[in-house]
């Protein structure tokens, strides 16, 4: 008897679950129906090109001192906006949605919170050492990829020369 009641109860629950999955009731008395807003790609316009820094722990560039989470990787700009990622060839768009699995691996392997934390840490360093900042950075305004590479090569060469000079001075001092 007890077994029959349990089986009947389980069957009734299964039918109720099936029925509730197939039926939806919405009652609005005196209230307008809520509007569903589906947002498209963001309209982001930077009046001046943002500065991009490259924290070594991330492996890509991050826009700083801007109200958006914008990064530059694999010759594209990516913006995290409204819990979604968007891609563009230019920092002002037009933006097209991109699924997380189609992001460059360097971006995909980090949580957005970690990217923001790294950006803020690197930006503090940049602000404090503005004239002597040694990290990789660029402003997309007039520069091209080859120019960035050339500038980075020159910076590396200067850094190596300064390092050699310091080492020589220490050696001469001893």
* Residues 169, 131: Cα–Cα separation, whole Å: 23
Q: What pLDDT sits at residue 19?
A: 42
Q: What pLDDT sits at residue 9?
A: 45
Q: What pLDDT sits at residue 54?
A: 92
Query: What DSSP designation does 114 have?
Result: H
pTM summary value:
0.59
Contacts with 41 (C-beta within 8 Å, 6 or more apart), sequence order: 86, 93, 94, 95, 96, 97
Residue appearing with tokens 């091209």: 144
Would you tell me how many other CB atoms lie within 10 Å of the CB of residue 78?
22
* Residues 62, 69: Cα–Cα separation, whole Å: 8
pLDDT by residue for the chain (174 residues), tens only, comes to 555 544 554 454 444 444 444 444 444 455 554 444 446 788 888 888 999 999 988 999 999 999 999 999 999 999 999 999 999 999 998 999 999 999 999 999 999 999 999 999 999 999 998 778 888 888 887 555 566 677 778 878 888 888 888 888 888 877
Q: What pLDDT sits at residue 30?
A: 57
Q: What pLDDT sits at residue 16?
A: 47
Handedness of CA 156, 157, 158, 162 (dihedral sign): positive
């Amino acid at each position: 008897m007890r077994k029959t009641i349990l089986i009947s109860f389980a069957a009734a629950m299964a039918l109720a679950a099936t029925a509730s999955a197939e039926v939806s009731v919405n009652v609005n008395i005196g209230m307008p129906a809520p509007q569903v807003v589906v947002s498209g790609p963001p309209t982001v316009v930077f009046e001046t090109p943002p500065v991009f820094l490259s924290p070594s722990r991330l492996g890509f560039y991050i826009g700083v001192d801007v109200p958006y989470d914008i990064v530059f990787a694999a010759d594209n700009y990516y913006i995290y906006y409204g819990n979604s990622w968007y891609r563009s060839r230019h920092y002002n768009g037009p933006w097209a949605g991109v699924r997380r699995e189609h992001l460059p691996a360097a971006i995909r392997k980090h949580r957005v919170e970690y990217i923001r934390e790294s950006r803020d840490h690197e930006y503090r360093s940049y602000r404090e050492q503005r004239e002597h900042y040694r990290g990789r950075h660029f402003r997309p305004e007039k520069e091209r990829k080859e120019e960035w590479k050339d500038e980075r090569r020159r910076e590396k060469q200067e850094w190596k020369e300064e390092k050699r000079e310091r080492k020589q001075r220490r050696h001469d001092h001893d």
